[in-house]
Amino acid sequence: MTESLLGLRVLSHALPPALSGRAGTNRASASVARQIAANDDVAAIGLWLAEYHDSPHTFRSYRKEATRLLLWATQVRNKPVSSLTREDVIAYEAFLAQPLPTWCDDGLARHGEHRRLFVGPLAERSRRQALGILAGLFNYLVRAGYLAGSPFVLQRRRARRGTRRTIERYLDRALWEEMLRIVDGWSQNTARERQRYERVRWTLRFLYETALRAAEAAAACEGDFQHIRGRWWLHTVGKGGVEGTIPLSDGLMEDFARYRRFHGLPVLPSSDSKTPVILGIAGRLSSLTPTAVYQIVKDTFRRVAETLQQQDGAKAARVRRASTHWLRHTAATHQAEDGTPIHHIQQNLRHSSIGTTSIYIHAEEDARHASTTKTRHEVPAPPGDAP
């Protein structure tokens, strides 16, 4: 955790006293009971981030948004975070939609004080997510007695478009099966090609059947497999420390055995082993990072899209957009299409609300479309009308 916060500490040392937040105009009065000992903005943000030390993926996401805001406030608005007003928040939202070109420079490093903070303008959904994370930061600092109030509280609530939304970032069954066939056709003439194929083959099937997030898949190890009453389950700890068990099919266990056999490992998992489920490069017994798992999948989708481009540009474009989270959505959608009870899908995805799970149910909409268009096209023409 100390190393993870090092970047913020470097920023703290680089800030002049006027931008440190020690005298921020939004600081809580001395009469307010303080719940944290932080005396400047970087220290206060660091304590907020420390609350997420047990969720690495969330921690990295929140740190990125906090760092962006801190640098924007001090470098663009020339004020500390603890002096930001509602007008600043509105300006920052506009900045996220069109960041300065110097903040998106490909020549900048990925880490350090002078790193690249944006790949480009954020889409509306990403902007909402960023502002939601920052609203959580400010709410925390208000509750902690560090800030007097949050400029995010005044943010208007956008009207929902409709009462129900559905997830469309998934691969339909035909496209998913076509993608697997394309991967199975990859060249395996060299040892490196065979290694790459076996890892991709296993990673795709593991993510698809378990519907794990990239961070959860990267953290999964042999010891997480549980054999209960003759059936295999996978224990996992997801976002917010939510624990769950996921049923594993005989087919997936056969795929696991194949992957392990290829690397000379026992085909059955050991309950006390920390060997990762997805092995490191060249089968090393070291864990991959969530980013590495994400890149394996993205690279696979890119290669598949290149093959599909020759026959169907629309399919290629869809696969090219796909990511690890698309596999989670794909798994949930296919489970629903197979008739899996929605409360079972909810447990598999570890959703707290069944309403969240319902966004993967497409069958009702598909049936409505089919019945509507079929009725329209099958009405016979009145006698005597020209064809």
pLDDT digits (tens, 9 = 90+) for 147-187: 999 998 765 555 444 444 445 678 888 999 999 999 999 99
Domain ranges of the chain: 6-143, 173-363
Which residue do the tokens 């960041």 mark? Answer: 99
What is the mean pLDDT of the segment spanning 323-334? 87
Question: How does the average pLDDT of the chain come out, rounded?
Answer: 82
SS3 of the chain: the string is CCCCCHHHHHHHHHCCHHHCCCCCCCECCCCCCCCCCCCCHHHHHHHHHHCCCCCHHHHHHHHHHHHHHHHHHHHHCCCCHHHCCHHHHHHHHHHHHCCCHHHCCCCCECCCCCECCCCCCCCHHHHHHHHHHHHHHHHHHHHCCCECCCCCCCCCCCCCCCCCCCCCCCCCHHHHHHHHHHHHCCCCCCHHHHHHHHHHHHHHHHHHHHCCCHHHHHHCEHHHEEEECCEEEEEEECHHHCEEEEEECHHHHHHHHHHHHHCCCCCCCCCCCCCECCCCHHHCCCCCCHHHHHHHHHHHHHHHHHHHCCCCHHHHHHHHHCCHHHHHHHHHHHHHHCCCCHHHHHHHHCCCCHHHHHHHCCHHHHHHHHHHHHHHHHCCCCCCCCC
Lowest mean pLDDT among 8-12, 110-114, 314-318, 329-333: 110-114
pLDDT digits (tens, 9 = 90+) for 337-378: 777 787 788 888 877 665 556 655 555 555 555 655 554 444
For residue 29, is pLDDT > 70? yes
Lowest mean pLDDT among 297-306, 345-354, 375-384: 375-384
Give residue 335's pLDDT band: very low, low, confident or very high (50, 70, 90): confident
| Superfamily grouping for domain 173-363 | Intergrase catalytic core (1.10.443.10)
Q: What percent of the chain has pLDDT over 70?
A: 80
